[in-house]
Amino acid sequence: MTDTTDASHATDAAGTADAAAVTAVGAVTDTAGATNGAGATGTAGAPSIPRPPRPGDASRATELAALFPALHAPQYWAWGRYDAQFSTVLPPDELVTNIHLVGFTDGDRVVLCRDDRNHWFLPGGTREHNESVDSCLVRELREEAGARLLGEPVWLGAHRCVTDDPVPYRPWQPHPEKAWLWGWADVAVDSVPTNPDDGEQVVEVRAVEPDEARRLLLDGHEAWWGELIALAVELRSRPR
């Protein structure tokens, strides 16, 4: 289930989908209208975090902050009264409350979801009580995108957030500091969103080119969302 006060769902998108590319939730289409097959195979799991910092992490973080300044700029998320700061340095596991994925399919197309408010977002959501990062990601991909991992996710970084709200969103969550974890992975969209009753109701899953993903996300989101997609594309192109 996705936290409905989650940063990825905090604002409505104002645009309407192109009728030629819109598909009911029973299949995912790219902008040319091709439908993914269900025959792909891959691993269902993902590694947990954190890993210890490695030599070069600090210099890489400085480089990426210069390349993506809007993403790395201090932010204020008014919906949760959060002061947020992105970093490619990963937080400790116990701070991570939310996980979201830039999922690539059919080469370099990005998987987006649209809910019944006409709001585009990246699949992901809130960890349940005692749920691991990898289990949360697998569950959220299935619930919101009808997708599964084809390999291990690569973590892009996280927003470290501090709120002045007196109580946490859920009683088991860390407070007042928490972290939103972002990653990328290759995925297969071979099912339909399960749409649990207490989550967003996804009405469309679409695989689009990265530029189109940025355009759709920026219609209702701040500029750093476009840079988040660009960061995923950049790091995916580098040796790992």
Write down the domain spans for the chain. Answer: 56-236
User: Is residue 237 pLDDT above 80, yes or no?
Assistant: yes
CA atoms within 13 A on the CB side of 210: 17
User: Is residue 38 pLDDT above 80, yes or no?
Assistant: no
Q: What's the pLDDT at 240?
A: 79
H/E stretch holding 166 reads: none
Cα gap 7→51, rounded to integer Å: 25
Nearest C-alpha neighbor of 5 from the set 173, 169, 119, 153: 169
Cα gap 3→9, rounded to integer Å: 8
Look at 35 and 7; give whichever has higher pLDDT: 7
> What band does 24 get if pLDDT is binned at 50, 70 and 90?
very low
Q: Mind listing the pLDDT tens digit for each residue in 44-101?
A: 444 455 554 555 678 888 999 999 999 999 999 998 899 999 999 999 999 999 999 9
Q: What's the pLDDT at 57?
A: 78
Question: Helix, strand or coil for residue 194?
Answer: coil
Q: Mind listing the pLDDT tens digit for each residue in 162-206?
A: 999 999 999 999 999 999 999 999 999 999 999 999 888 999 999
> What band does 220 get if pLDDT is binned at 50, 70 and 90?
confident
| CATH number, span 56-236 | 3.90.79.10
Q: What's the pLDDT at 54?
A: 55
User: Is residue 16 pLDDT above 60, yes or no?
Assistant: no
Q: What's the pLDDT at 45?
A: 41
Neighbours of 156 (CB within 10 A): 23
CB 103 within 8 A of CB 92: no
> What band does 9 get if pLDDT is binned at 50, 70 and 90?
low
Q: What's the pLDDT at 60?
A: 87
Q: Mind listing the pLDDT tens digit for each residue in 123-146?
A: 999 999 999 999 999 999 999 999
> What band does 40 get if pLDDT is binned at 50, 70 and 90?
very low
Q: What's the pLDDT at 3?
A: 53
Look at 56 and 9; give whichever has higher pLDDT: 56
